[in-house]
C-alpha cells in the first residue's frame, strides 16, 4: 500500500511481506531425443512413459534382415538377425529402464529414411534448432546419428554444443562412433568435435548390447528369397492353411505395400506415414485457405475408396473399413463441405479483392465427389448440411475474420488427424489379428521366432546414460557425479576396456575426456567416468559441476524475473540477496556446496559501490555477484599404508 496516497479518513490495513520470495529449483534431467520414429509429429513432443511413446511415435523398427535355416523341418541355430540401423527406440527403452522420466521426442523422419546419409545431417541439426524454443529440455542426445560419417556426426555434435552454450540451460550427451578399435574411434571423435564449448558435453564409450525382443512380422520371415521360408510352398496342398495364407498375403499388401516413396499403390499405413500432417498458417489475403482445405481432403482420401478392394481375399477388409468410415470419418468430410459452403459467402476488405469475396475453394464437383465412395462417404454428391455449424462463425461484422477461420481450420484439421490415426491403427490391429490366426496354424513358426529372438541388439550408450542422470538427480541430486552406477537391462558391451586402456580415455593431452563404461566382476556393468569434454579445465572438468551450475543459474535467473523493473534501491537489493542466499543455504544443507559453514560455501553480493557504480544504476543495471564452492567427486582415492614398529 502506498501510504502517501491516502486521502480519506479511516482505518487501513497494510500487509507487509516478512520474508523474501523463494527460488524454485528447475528440472535438471529432461532429455530431448532426436531421431527417427515409425510415425508421429515432427514438432518436439513431451512424453512421460515408454507406453506413451509407442502410442504417439510407434514401435520398434524391423530388423534390417532375417535369415532362417530349416533342417528336417526344424529351425537350426544358424538363424540370424541383421539388426536395424535405427537406434532411438531401444535407446529410449534403456532410458526408462535406468530411471528416466519425462523427456522430449523430436522425430525427424520415418523408418524409410536413411539415418546415415549426407542429407540426414541437416535433419539432425534441424531437430536441434527446433529445441531452441523449448525451455524445459536440459539434455540433448541423438542416438541415430552414429550412422553418420565421423565428419557429419562431429558437425551435429558441434551444433548441439553451440546451442548449449547459447542457452546455458542444457547439456549434451554424445556417443562415440564405434567402427574401429578404441584408439582409432577415440581419435576420430576428438578430431571432429572441435575445441569450442566443450564444457557443455560429455562422451561415452563403448556401445551396449541388449536382448530386447524383436517384434517379427510374418512377412519378415515368409518369402522366396534366400534366408526366407516359403510357407506358401510348404502348405501348397493344405486345404485349411493355404486359403488363410492367400487371404493374409493379399490384405497385408493393401495395408503395408511399399513400392516407392509416395507411390499411388502404396498401402494404407504407408501412405498415412508418408503424408504431411503439419498444420498451416492462413495468410492475411486468405490465398492459401484452398491449399489447407485440400490438404485435409487428401488426408481423408487415403481411405476414400474401399470399393477398390475387389479381390475376393480382400472382402473382409473392405467390410471392416466400410463399418467405421460412416461413423468416424464421414462426419468430418461433411464438415469440410459445410466449411466451404460458408466460406464462399464471406466478404473481405483485404488485398486486391477489396470488399469482394475471398478466393473460392476448389469446386466439389470433381474433388472429392469422384474420389470418395458413395453411401459410406456421401449420399449422391456432397452437399452442405441444412443446419450449417459454420454459419456466421467465420466472420466479424459481416467480414471474413482471419483468426476465426484459422481456429476453425486448425480444429477441423486436428479432428481429422486424430480420426485417421485411430482408423489406420484399427486397420493395423485387424491385420495383426489375421496374422495371428495364420501363424497359429504353422507350428514351426514359433520355433523360428524362438531362434531369432536370441539375437542381441547394439545400442549407443547415450539413452541409458540419460536415464542414469535422471535417476541420480532424483535420488542424490544433480551435484552427485553420475558415475559408479550400474546400467540395467543390458547383457554386455561391444568392447571390454581395462585400466590401461582407460588411462588415455580419461586424461588426454587435448583435455577431451571420454567416459568409459566397464564391466567389473561381481559388480556389474558400471559407468566409470564423470568428466566433461573440457577435461583440462579446473572449473568445468566434472559433469556434476557443470550441470549444478546450469541448475543454479537457471533457477536464480527465473526467480529474479519478478524484480525486473522494480526500483533499483536498497530494499530490492536486500530482497534479492535474501532470496538467493536462502536458496544456496538449502543446497549447502543438501551437500551440493562444499564448506563447513554457509559463508564458506557461498556468497551473494549486491549494492551500490559493492557490485554497481552510480552509472550502472543510471543505466538500469542491477548487478548481483554470486560465488559458490561446488562439491567435486573423489575421482582418485589414494590409500596410504605405512608399517609401524611394534609397541607392546
pLDDT, tens only, 120-163: 999 999 999 999 999 999 999 999 999 999 999 999 999 999 99
Whether residue 461 sits in one domain with residue 387: no
Average of per-residue pLDDT across 348-362: 54
* Span 507-543, pLDDT tens digits: 999 999 999 999 999 999 999 999 999 999 999 999 9
Whether 1 is in a domain gets the answer no
Q: Specify whether 281 is located in the same domain as 430.
A: yes
Q: What average pLDDT does the segment 344-373 reach?
A: 62
In angstroms, rounded to a whole number, what is the distance separating the alpha carbons of residues 533 and 87?
A: 23
Q: What is the pLDDT of residue 173?
A: 98
- What does the pLDDT read at residue 365? 45
**Whether 517 contacts 537, CB under 8 Å:** no
Does residue 12 sit within a domain? no
Q: What is the pLDDT of residues 60-76, one digit of tens each?
A: 998 888 999 998 889 99
Is 556 within a domain?
no
Do 36 and 163 fall within a single domain? yes
Which of 441, 466, 499 represents a domain boundary (last residue)?
Answer: 441
Residue 382 falls inside a structural domain: yes
pLDDT band at 230 (very low <50, low <70, confident <90, very high): very high
Burial class (CB in 10 A: 0-12, 13-18, 19+), 433: exposed
Residues 168 and 267 in one domain: no
User: What value does the mean pLDDT of the chain take?
Assistant: 92
Domain-located, residue 225: no
Q: Do residues 57 and 205 share a domain? A: yes
pLDDT of residue 359: 58
* pLDDT above 70 (res 350): no
Per DSSP (E only), the strands in 325-393 are: none
pLDDT at 632: 95
Of 212-226, 311-325, 358-372, 382-396, least confident by mean pLDDT is: 358-372
Residues 304 and 172 in one domain: no
| Residue 297 scores a pLDDT above 80 | yes
Residue 355's pLDDT band (cuts 50, 70, 90): very low
| Alpha-carbon span 107 to 276, nearest angstrom | 13
Dist CA 181 CA 176 (whole Å): 11
| pLDDT at residue number 354 | 43
- Give the count of domains, the chain: 3
DSSP state of 238: -
Who wins on pLDDT, 29 or 368?
Answer: 29
Q: What is the per-residue pLDDT for 366? A: 45
Q: Is 21 a domain residue? A: no
Residue 169 pLDDT > 90, yes or no? Answer: yes
Domain that residue 268 falls in: 236-441
Question: How, if at all, do strands 208-210 and 492-493 pair?
Answer: antiparallel
Instruction: Please state at what angle helix 241-256 crosses helix 402-439, rounded to 10 degrees.
Output: 160
Q: Are residues 287 and 413 in the same domain?
A: yes
The answer on 413 and 472 residing in a single domain is no
Distance CA 482, CA 139 (A): 14
pLDDT computed for residue 442 by the predictor: 93
Domain boundary, last residue among 528, 548, 581: 528
Residue 240 lies in a domain: yes
**Mean of pLDDT values over 603-623:** 96
Check: CB of residue 548 under 8 Å from CB of residue 481: no
Three-state SS for 420? helix
Tell which of 417, 441, 465 closes a domain. Answer: 441
The verdict on 189 and 263 lying in the same domain is no
Which residue spans within 349-482 are E strands per DSSP?
395-396, 399-400, 457-459
Q: What is the reported pLDDT for 360? A: 56
- Spatial CA neighbour of 32 closest among 136, 154, 147, 156: 136
Q: Degrees (nearest 5) of the Cα angle 204, 189, 120?
A: 95
The reported pLDDT for the residue numbered 19 is: 79
Same domain, 249 and 398: yes
Tell me how far the alpha carbon of residue 200 is from its chain's centroid. 20
In a 13 Å sphere around the CA of 524, the CA atoms on its Cβ side amount to 9
pLDDT-derived band at 353, boundaries 50, 70, 90? very low
Give the mean pLDDT of 466-491.
97
The share of the chain scoring above pLDDT 90, in percent, equals 79
- Whole-angstrom CA distances from 134 to 9, 12, 106, 510 are 52, 45, 11, 33
pLDDT at 362: 55
Residues 145 and 55 in one domain: yes
b/e per residue, 9-48, with b = 16+ CB within 10 A?
eeeeeeeeeeebeebebbbbbbbbbbbbbbbbebebbebe
In a domain, 224, yes or no: no
Q: Do residue 465 and residue 426 come from a single domain?
A: no
Q: Report CA 527 to chain centroid distance, whole Å.
A: 24
Per-residue pLDDT tens over the stretch 241-263: 999 999 999 999 999 998 888 88
Does residue 357 register a pLDDT over 70? Answer: no
Encode pLDDT of 427-465 as tens digits: 999 999 999 999 999 999 999 999 988 888 899 999 999
Amino acid at each position: 500500500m502506498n501510504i502517501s496516497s491516502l486521502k480519506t479518513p479511516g482505518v487501513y490495513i497494510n500487509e507487509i511481506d516478512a520474508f523474501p520470495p523463494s527460488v524454485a529449483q528447475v528440472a535438471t534431467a529432461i532429455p530431448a531425443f532426436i531421431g527417427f520414429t515409425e510415425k508421429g509429429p515432427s514438432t518436439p513432443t513431451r512424453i512421460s512413459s515408454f507406453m506413451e511413446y509407442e502410442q504417439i511415435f510407434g514401435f520398434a523398427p524391423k530388423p534390417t534382415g532375417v535369415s532362417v535355416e530349416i533342417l528336417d523341418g526344424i529351425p537350426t541355430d544358424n538363424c540370424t538377425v541383421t539388426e536395424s540401423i535405427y537406434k532411438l527406440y531401444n535407446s529410449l527403452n534403456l532410458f526408462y529402464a535406468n530411471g528416466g522420466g519425462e523427456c522430449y521426442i523430436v522425430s525427424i523422419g520415418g523408418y524409410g529414411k536413411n539415418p546415415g546419409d549426407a542429407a540426414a545431417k541437416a535433419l539432425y541439426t534441424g531437430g536441434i534448432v527446433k529445441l531452441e524454443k523449448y525451455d524445459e529440455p536440459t539434455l540433448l542426445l541423438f542416438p541415430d546419428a552414429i550412422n553418420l560419417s565421423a565428419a557429419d556426426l562431429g558437425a551435429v555434435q558441434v551444433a548441439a554444443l553451440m546451442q548449449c552454450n547459447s542457452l546455458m540451460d542444457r547439456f549434451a550427451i554424445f556417443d562415440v562412433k564405434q567402427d574401429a578399435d578404441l584408439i582409432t574411434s577415440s581419435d576420430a571423435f576428438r578430431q571432429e568435435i572441435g575445441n569450442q564449448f566443450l564444457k557443455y558435453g560429455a562422451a561415452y564409450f563403448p556401445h551396449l548390447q541388449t536382448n530386447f525382443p524383436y517384434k517379427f512380422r510374418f512377412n519378415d520371415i515368409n518369402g522366396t528369397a534366400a534366408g526366407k521360408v516359403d510357407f506358401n510352398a510348404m502348405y501348397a496342398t493344405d486345404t485349411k492353411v493355404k486359403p488363410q495364407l492367400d487371404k493374409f498375403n493379399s490384405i497385408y499388401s493393401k495395408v503395408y505395400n511399399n513400392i516407392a516413396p509416395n507411390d499411388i499403390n502404396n498401402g494404407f499405413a504407408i501412405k498415412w506415414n508418408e503424408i504431411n500432417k503439419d498444420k498451416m498458417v492462413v495468410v492475411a489475403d486468405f490465398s492459401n485457405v484452398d491449399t489447407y482445405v485440400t490438404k485435409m481432403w487428401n488426408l481423408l482420401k487415403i481411405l476414400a475408396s474401399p470399393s477398390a478392394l475387389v479381390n475376393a481375399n480382400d472382402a473382409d477388409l473392405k467390410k471392416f473399413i466400410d463399418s467405421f468410415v460412416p461413423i468416424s470419418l464421414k462426419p468430418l468430410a461433411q464438415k469440410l463441405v459445410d466449411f466451404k459452403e460458408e466460406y464462399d459467402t464471406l466478404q473481405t476488405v483485404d488485398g486486391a479483392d477489396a470488399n469482394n469475396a475471398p478466393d473460392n475453394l476448389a469446386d466439389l464437383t470433381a474433388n472429392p465427389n469422384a474420389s470418395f465412395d458413395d453411401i459410406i462417404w456421401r449420399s449422391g454428391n456432397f452437399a452442405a448440411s441444412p443446419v450449417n455449424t459454420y454459419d456466421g462463425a467465420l466472420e466479424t461484422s459481416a467480414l471474413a475474420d482471419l483468426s476465426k477461420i484459422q481456429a476453425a481450420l486448425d480444429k477441423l484439421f486436428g479432428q481429422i488427424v486424430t480420426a485417421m490415426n485411430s482408423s489406420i491403427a484399427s486397420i493395423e490391429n485387424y491385420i495383426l489379428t489375421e496374422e495371428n490366426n495364420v501363424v497359429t496354424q504353422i507350428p514351426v513358426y514359433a520355433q523360428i521366432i524362438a531362434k531369432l529372438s536370441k539375437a542381441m541388439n547394439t545400442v549407443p550408450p547415450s539413452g541409458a546414460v540419460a536415464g542414469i542422470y535422471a535417476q541420480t538427480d532424483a535420488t542424490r541430486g544433480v551435484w552427485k557425479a553420475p558415475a559408479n552406477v550400474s546400467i540395467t537391462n543390458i547383457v554386455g558391451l561391444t568392447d571390454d576396456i581395462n585400466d590401461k586402456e582407460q588411462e588415455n580415455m580419461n586424461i588426454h593431452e587435448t583435455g577431451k575426456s571420454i567416459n568409459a563404461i566397464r564391466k567389473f566382476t561381481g559388480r556389474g556393468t558400471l559407468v566409470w567416468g564423470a568428466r566433461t569434454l573440457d577435461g583440462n579445465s579446473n572449473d568445468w572438468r566434472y559433469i556434476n559441476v557443470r550441470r549444478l551450475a546450469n541448475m543454479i543459474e537457471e533457477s536464480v535467473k527465473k526467480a529474479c524475473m519478478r524484480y525486473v523493473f522494480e526500483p533499483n534501491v536498497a530494499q530490492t537489493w536486500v530482497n534479492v540477496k535474501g532470496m538467493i542466499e536462502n536458496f544456496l543455504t538449502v543446497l549447502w544443507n543438501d551437500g551440493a556446496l562444499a564448506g563447513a559453514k554457509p559463508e564458506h560455501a557461498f556468497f551473494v553480493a549486491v549494492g551500490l559501490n559493492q557490485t554497481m557504480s552510480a552509472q550502472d544504476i543510471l543505466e538500469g543495471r542491477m548487478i548481483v555477484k554470486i560465488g559458490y564452492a561446488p562439491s567435486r567427486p573423489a575421482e582418485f582415492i589414494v590409500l596410504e599404508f605405512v608399517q609401524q614398529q611394534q609397541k607392546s
